[in-house]
Copies of this chain bind each other. A is one copy, B any other.
Amino acid sequence: MSPRPAEGAEAPKGPSKSELKKRAKEEEKARKAAEKAAKQAELEAQKAAAEVDFATEFYGKLPLNQSQSRPRRERVQIASLTPEHDGQTVLVRARVQTSRAQGSKMVFLNLRQRIDSVQALLVLTPGKVSKQMLKWAAGLQTESIVLAEGVVKKSPEPIKSATVSDVELHLTQLHLISGLDTKLPFTVDDANRPQENTEQNAADQEQEAEAPEEAEAEEGDEGGIKIKRVLLKTRLDNRVVDLRTQTNQAVFRLQAAIGSFFREYLEGQGFIEIHSPKLQGAATESGASVFEVSYFKGKAYLAQSPQLAKQMAIASDFERVYEIGPVFRAENSFTHRHMTEFIGLDLEMAIEEHYHEVMELLDGLFLHLFRGLKQKYAKEIETVRKQFPADEFKWREGPEGTLKLSFREAVDLLVADGVPREDLDDIDTTNEKRLGRIVREKYDTDYFIIDKFPMALRPFYTMPDPEDPTLSNSYDFFMRGEEILSGAQRVHDAKLLSEQMRQKGINPESMKTYLQAFQLGCPPHGGGGIGLERVLMLFLKLNNIRRASLFPRDPKRLEP
């Protein structure tokens, strides 16, 4: 929770001349502002002394909550307010999204709780709401947390500025629970503005991620009104405020929902959850992108996936296992879809006859997920769409089912679209996207499976095809032309496994305990790993994976 680790060995420099000049200017400005405020305060104090405030009990800052008392007074959720509550007095804890005086007799507030908001007003009323109270309320800083008591009133006309449009709160008391000790880096209103969801935008963001220091808040001009765009870097540097937007409140409810549907489906299919260690004794799978940890007098390594552990769980007879947990990749890349730490949704299962049992189960899992999100999270998806407009995510239902292409068929589609066949030993990310567009046009789906990848493209633990040893029993799943799952039948025979390790340049001795699991008898099995943030990003078309992670990590970001 401190500044980023230094990049290189350079000592920190002192402030520059222009920096010093800027500071002096700021100090001068602050001094003047303070003088002005003091004068103002004096005037107001004189004025206030002339008028006795009958409302002092009804507003003001509460003492710091240290659990002094427990009156057990019910507090309501904004989302639950309806015209049926007309006339009732309610108590609400909420953020002040906006607060503005209208003339000298009224203050309008927008009170917010997560993705919901309601309009509240304070009207000068003898014996109830004083001038001082109005003034105090109008001066409340945006994002303050207040405890508001008010009477619910049916609204004469729909209120467009709040999510609750048919009632408003006529406040009788307003107290500050928690204020701000600092200036807001940007307002939640600004952070919540619609983005143009274009490829250009996505490209900008990638560039921005690569050179984050250059990106700053940007002013735009829209319909004559100056508006502020808050760039991704600024958002991530001030993630606590950024996360308060209705968009982000919805994004992370959807993230939790994906995990929840994943579990629900798998538990219904007889899977149990496991937790495998992230600290490993050796750099496994691929040594290049592993983080090294100082482990007492020795070294440990962070797991790049639970692959080995979940296979060992199968050798241990757990039959069907899943895990939700962090995976770590020490890849020094700054794309829109890479992070150094992300959440893996992993599963592994014994197969009876054929690896398509796994592939079909995974397909069932995704359909369960897509249907669940559409049916139960329409409000959250709608909320995100307001900021990130996107075509609705499409998949195929009914008897024809999910589109399944072999790797060869996928290559043929790309060749027919004009890609030279000699570029297609592998399908790179550009061609993946292109394939996604071709498939959408031809098959009207954003979701499909590619089966039977060439063995050369897959890791050592992949089972080769029984007839063509250049092919493998492996598959990738795609959403909007990006890979979101990779899986396969695994080799469960220790001898073949050692052989394939050697072919890929791995010394079997370095993975002894893993190999031992198969020497001790292991059933045929297969599985897959899903990137949680990728599924979320692609379902919602957020364009940058950092938006799908609460506190994202990349090679240059370890904060907040």
A66 and B312 in contact (CB under 8 A), knowing A2-B510, A144-B521? no
In Å, the complex CA distance between A358 and B357 comes to 45
One digit per residue, 1 when the CB lies within 8 angstroms of any chain B CB and 0 when it does not, for chain A 507-532 equals 00111111011111111100000001
A296 and B494 in contact (CB under 8 A), knowing A1-B282, A521-B95? no
Chain B residues with Cβ below 8 Å from A340 are 279, 295
One digit per residue, 1 when the CB lies within 8 angstroms of any chain B CB and 0 when it does not, for chain A 227-271 equals 000000000001111011000110011011001100100010000
Chain B residues with Cβ below 8 Å from A522 are 145, 178
Q: Name the contact of A295 in the complex, choosing from B291, B313, B355, B551 (C-beta under 8 A).
A: B291
Q: Is A86 an interface residue (CB 8 A)?
A: no
Q: Name the contact of A313 in the complex, choosing from B69, B143, B550, B559 (C-beta under 8 A).
A: B550
Give the copy number.
2
Q: Which of A323-364 contact B (CB under 8 A)?
A: 324-326, 328, 330, 332, 340-341, 343, 350-356
A1 and B510 in contact (CB under 8 A), knowing A240-B316, A521-B144? yes
- Contact in complex: A296, B256 (CB < 8 Å): no
- Contact in complex: B1, A275 (CB < 8 Å): no
In Å, the complex CA distance between A308 and B492 comes to 42
Interface-facing stretch out of A42-50, A131-139, A158-166, A462-470: A462-470
- Contact in complex: A252, B274 (CB < 8 Å): yes
- Contact in complex: B550, A355 (CB < 8 Å): no
Q: Is A53 an interface residue (CB 8 A)?
A: no
- Contact in complex: A316, B244 (CB < 8 Å): yes
In Å, the complex CA distance between A293 and B301 comes to 9
Q: Which of A288-334 contact B (CB under 8 A)?
A: 291-300, 302, 308-309, 312-313, 315-319, 324-326, 328, 330, 332
**Closest residue of chain B to A473, judged by CB?**
B67
A182 and B516 in contact (CB under 8 A), knowing A510-B2, A558-B295? yes
- Contact in complex: B523, A145 (CB < 8 Å): yes
- Contact in complex: A276, B1 (CB < 8 Å): no
In Å, the complex CA distance between A284 and B318 comes to 37
Interface-facing stretch out of A5-13, A18-26, A205-213, A432-440: A5-13
Q: Is A181 an interface residue (CB 8 A)?
A: yes
- Contact in complex: B295, A293 (CB < 8 Å): no
Nearest Cβ on chain B to A482's Cβ, whole angstroms: 20
Q: Is A180 an interface residue (CB 8 A)?
A: yes
Q: Name the contact of A550 in the complex, choosing from B255, B309, B343 (C-beta under 8 A).
A: B309
In Å, the complex CA distance between A3 and B507 comes to 13
**Closest residue of chain B to A493, judged by CB?**
B64
- Contact in complex: B1, A308 (CB < 8 Å): yes
Q: Name the contact of A67 in the complex, choosing from B182, B274, B466 (C-beta under 8 A).
A: B466
Nearest Cβ on chain B to A264's Cβ, whole angstroms: 10
| Residues of A that sit less than 8 Å from B by CB | 1-8, 64-73, 75, 93, 95, 113-114, 143-145, 177-182, 184, 238-241, 243-244, 248-249, 252-253, 255-256, 259-260, 263, 267, 272-282, 284, 291-300, 302, 308-309, 312-313, 315-319, 324-326, 328, 330, 332, 340-341, 343, 350-356, 463-466, 473, 489, 492-496, 509-514, 516-524, 532, 549-553, 555, 558-560
Write 20 A-B pairs (CB below 8 A) sorted by A numbering. Answer: A1-B511, A1-B514, A2-B510, A5-B281, A5-B297, A7-B298, A8-B297, A66-B464, A67-B463, A113-B319, A143-B521, A144-B521, A177-B523, A177-B524, A252-B272, A253-B272, A281-B558, A291-B293, A309-B551, A326-B326
